Amino acid sequence: MTKAEIVAEIASKTNIEKLTVQQTVESFMDAIKKAMAEGENVYLRGFGSFVVKQRAEKTGRNISKNTTIIIPAHNIPSFKPAKVFVGEVKNKVK
């Protein structure tokens, strides 16, 4: 499902203009991205958690040049679905 399909579905269910729904969805995603860029986690009860994970510094290899490189410590975004969400997906039989 794409963002456009999500916007269309929300617009049809709520009878709100697609442009308004699109702006709302974009604002929602921007708020999550901004919070995570600042190191904050975002918790949506019943859906899941957007968390910032820290990766430690490690040694890697550049196989084309056969050299060792150091990969610095960094943060990455991660999503952990809620138990309710996982249960709904697991129990859905096609």
Using H for helix, E for strand and C for coil, what is the string for the chain?
CCHHHHHHHHHHHHCCCHHHHHHHHHHHHHHHHHHHHCCCCEEECCCEEEEEEEECCEEEEECCCCEEEEECCEEEEEEEECHHHHHHHHCCCC
Query: 42-82: per-residue pLDDT in tens?
Result: 999 999 999 999 999 999 998 898 899 999 999 999 999 99
Is the distance from CB of 7 to CB of 18 less than 8 angstroms? yes
Domain boundaries defined on the chain = 1-39, 41-94
- For the cut 70, the answer to whether the pLDDT of residue 94 exceeds it is no
**If phi over 0 gives left and psi between -120 and 50 gives alpha, with beta otherwise, what is residue 28?**
alpha
As a whole number, the mean pLDDT across the chain is 94
The listed CATH number (3.60.20.40, 4.10.520.10, 3.30.70.1560, 3.40.50.300) that belongs to domain 41-94: 4.10.520.10
Predicted TM-score (pTM) of this structure:
0.78
> Which pLDDT does position 79 carry in this prediction?
96
> Which pLDDT does position 77 carry in this prediction?
96
- For the cut 80, the answer to whether the pLDDT of residue 33 exceeds it is yes
